[in-house]
Structure 1
Amino acid sequence: MEKKIVNPWTWQDNFVYAQAVEVKHNQGTLYCSGQAAMTADGKPAGGSMNDQILLSLQNLEKVIHQAGYKSAGVVRLNLYTTSIADFFGSYGVLAGWMQQHKIVPSSTLLEVKALAFPELLVEIEATVVG
């Protein structure tokens, strides 16, 4: 598999994402539903934005690995939050996870009125290649 990062500018480098990611010669593509701070029995975990980003990423990793892919194969992250200000206050959690897995995905961040449960603050969906 070949991955090529496309960045006509440099400002996005501060946020650890790419304007585009081209993938050639991959074996498969995994489209992950949005993962939030949900417990294994399907209940919202609540907690701070930091806690919720961390649990959302742990849940995302569980889905990725269960499907036989690796977190390093993430090429797109769509991020939904009920507060962009709070999200950026906790952005280091997400940035650290991306740096740990050496990924620079294309990404979209949206502030939404609500997520599936009132306790949820963030939801993360991914596209993964392998």
Structure 2
Amino acid sequence: MEKRTIDPWKWGEYTNSAQAVEVRQPEGTLYCSGQVAIDANGQVRDADMRTQLVQTIQNVEQLISEAGYDCKNIVRLNVFTTSTAEFFTTCVDVYQNFTAKHGMKQATTLVEVKGLYQTATVELEATVVK
């Protein structure tokens, strides 16, 4: 797989993402459903957004790993949250640490929504390539 990021504007260097990602000759593509802070019993962890994000990231990492892919090859990561203001004030460092840990440079969209599954406050949706 050959991956190239495109970020024509200087400000893009500070977003921990890329404006576009091109993938050539992938061996496979994994389209992940949105992941929330759900436990092994199918219950959403009733906690603050930061705690939910930590669990959600663990779920994303487990899903991608068990599918035989690597988080470093996430090319698109959509973030859905019930409050972008809360996400930026309490969670952005957790999110940035996650992307830095795996050396990701992905296309990202952040969307505030009215509600998510059960009591979830944040959801991650990933596309990964090999």
TM-score band, normalised by shorter chain: over 0.9
What are the within-5 Å matches in structure 2 for residues 68-83 of structure 1? 68-83=68-83
Seq. identity, %: 44
Output the amino acid matched with 1:123: E
The SS at the match of 1:23 is strand
- For 2:6, the equivalent position in structure 1 comes to 6
Aligned pairs, how many? 129
Moved over 6 A (4+): none
**One-letter code aligned to 1:121:** T
Match of 2:35 in 1: 35
Q: Distance in 1 between matches of 2:15 and 2:48?
A: 21
- Which residue in the other structure is 1:47 paired with? 47
The two structures have a TM-score, normalised by structure 2, of 0.96
Checking the alignment, whether the CA contact within 8 Å between 1:15 and 1:95 is kept in structure 2 is no
- Contact 1:75–1:106 under 8 Å retained in 2: yes
Alignment partner of 1:105 is 2:103: no
Any stretches of 5+ residues in structure 2 without a counterpart? none
Shift of 1:50: 1.3
Shift, 1:49, TM fit: 1.5
TM-score, L = length of structure 1: 0.96
**Aligned-partner SS, 1:87:** helix
